[in-house]
Structure 1
Amino acid sequence: MPTSPPVAETARPLLPQGRPHTPFEDVQGIFTGCLFAALALVMFRESTLLTGGTTGLAFLIHYLGGWPLGAILFLLNLPFYVFGLRTLGRTFTIKTFCAVAVLSLQTEFLPALVSFDRLDPVFAAVMAGLLAGTGILILIRHGASLGGVTILALYLQKRRGWRAGWVQMAIDCVILSLGLFVLSADKVALSVLGAAALNFVIAVNHRPDRYFGI
């Protein structure tokens, strides 16, 4: 999935400065945000859909090889932490590492707690996108992300001057296009719908100037 909006303000102090989150608040925020995102991934997988970003690539590998989605997601994100340390700092990178680890575990354990007798694929695409977007929004407000493409996009923006939003969009388009080699065209179309729902939530609600608890 697009793992967070590729905008530099996610790593900058907000003005006016609010009271920082306590460690306990960060822990519950990361756990809750990841739980929302994990439920979204379960819905995507149940409907044989995918999303953009590193998560979309993990889905493609999962569908092709049948390996555990959570493990693939965790391993794919490992190289990106190098870019995170150079671009977004130690605290953000550590929180992001923890978020991805928690998400990977939740993705594997949730199917034992949740099952669907009937899940309309259109509803699954939209609802999963909204859930994932909400989860990512929670993580952003606690100084974390779901890593992957967002970190790379911010790194390239800093080092090369490439607009992070365009970089992330281009990578997401490539990953979703690769889905045509694995899934049917209608599944890919629904995956695009889910990605649009995800980004809609973030675009409407991610306003750093309105949020003062960091």
Structure 2
Amino acid sequence: MKRKDDRQASGIFRRLRRKYSLVIVGAIIQGFAMGVFLFPNFIPSGGAGGFTVLLNYWFHMPLSIALWLVNSSMLLFAFHYLGSGSAIGTLFGITMTSISVNIFNVYLETPFSSVWVDLLVGSVFLGTGIAILLRQGVSNGGVGIIALIIAKYKNINPGKTLFWINGLIFIITAYIIDWQIIIQAIICQWLSTTIVSWLYVVSIPRKSLIFNLIWFKK
């Protein structure tokens, strides 16, 4: 009996290790996109990103702190609708993302001189990071929590929901800062949510080399 309990405990530990390893990877990729390519150009990465840009614009609040405050305020929804496991994972993910944004924003600069190239590259990384988080049942924070709730209860791909909710927030951000932002933000959302929609459902072979490296399988 004890041996069976040990095996069950070991299995739970392995699953948690795999999940949170991927959460860290997704959060770092997302933070890289925001801190290096998007936020320095005042391009909202999403609904939470829009509010983050506004807080930075109005109060000169550090991007990492503003992002964490906006995202963590949505956790009440995650606790109620998604359960404590998803909420804890979301809190962990947004904390790692905020730390990553701060590190990348301070120590790295974009190698490109064009805001449009930054937009394209940042959108690809952003969509990849968000998709990794959503596949683990963890929201990328902000309105991503709402998208995950809708995906759970209405069986709607979260990538499409993210696009429409974020669009409204982009209009508000563009009205306050610069209308050019809305064009850049919509392009960013279209690219990133398209990647999210694809990677969220794509089948990843369990025996693949990348999968083994990320999940620490031997």
Q: TM-score, normalised by structure 1?
A: 0.77
Query: What secondary structure sits across from 1:116 in the alignment?
Result: coil
Gapped runs of 5+ residues in structure 1?
1-18
Kindly provide the amino acid, as one letter, of the partner of residue 31 in structure 1: I
Residue 192 (structure 1) aligns with:
186
Structure 2 CA distance, aligned partners of 1:155 and 1:143? 10
Residue 105 (structure 2) aligns with:
111
Aligned residues: 194
Alpha-carbon distance, 1:47 to partner = 2.0
Taking every aligned residue pair, what percent have the same amino acid on both sides?
A: 19
Gapped runs of 5+ residues in structure 2?
1-10, 207-214
Alpha-carbon distance, 1:34 to partner = 1.0
Structure 2 CA distance, aligned partners of 1:169 and 1:46? 22
Q: In structure 2, which of residues 10, 25, 29 is the aligned counterpart of residue 32 of structure 1? A: 25
Structure 1 CA distance, aligned partners of 2:141 and 2:122? 19
Going from structure 1 to structure 2, the CA distance change for 1:201 and 1:153 (only over 3 Å counts) comes to closer
Going from structure 1 to structure 2, the CA distance change for 1:32 and 1:201 (only over 3 Å counts) comes to same
Going from structure 1 to structure 2, the CA distance change for 1:135 and 1:117 (only over 3 Å counts) comes to closer
Q: Which has the larger radius of gyration?
A: 2
Contact 2:23-2:132 within 8 A present in 1 as well: yes
Q: In structure 2, which of residues 197, 200, 205 is the aligned counterpart of residue 203 of structure 1? A: 197
Alpha-carbon distance, 1:188 to partner = 2.4
Contact 1:63-1:182 within 8 A present in 2 as well: no
Structure 2 CA distance, aligned partners of 1:60 and 1:66? 9
Confirm or deny that 1:96 pairs with 2:105.
Answer: no
Residue 44 (structure 1) aligns with:
38
User: CA-atom RMSD, angstroms?
Assistant: 2.9
Residue 171 (structure 1) aligns with:
165
| Higher helix content, 1 or 2 | 2
Confirm or deny that 1:70 pairs with 2:77.
Answer: no
Query: Once the two structures are superposed, what CA deviation does each residue of 1:171-202 show, in whole Å capped at 9, x if it has no partner?
Result: 31221101223333323211211111101101
Q: TM-score, normalised by structure 2?
A: 0.76
Q: Identify which of structures 1 and 2 has the higher relative contact order when contacts are C-alpha pairs closer than 8 Å and 6+ apart.
A: 1
Q: In structure 2, which of residues 177, 180, 184 is the aligned counterpart of residue 183 of structure 1? A: 177
Mapping for residues 118-137 of structure 1, pairs under 5 Å: 118-137=112-131
Per mean C-alpha deviation after superposition, the further-off stretch among 39-48 and 176-185 is: 176-185
Structure 2 CA distance, aligned partners of 1:154 and 1:32? 19
Confirm or deny that 1:149 pairs with 2:151.
Answer: no
Contact 2:163-2:190 within 8 A present in 1 as well: no
Structure 2 CA distance, aligned partners of 1:55 and 1:187? 12
Structure 2 CA distance, aligned partners of 1:80 and 1:111? 24
Going from structure 1 to structure 2, the CA distance change for 1:202 and 1:82 (only over 3 Å counts) comes to same
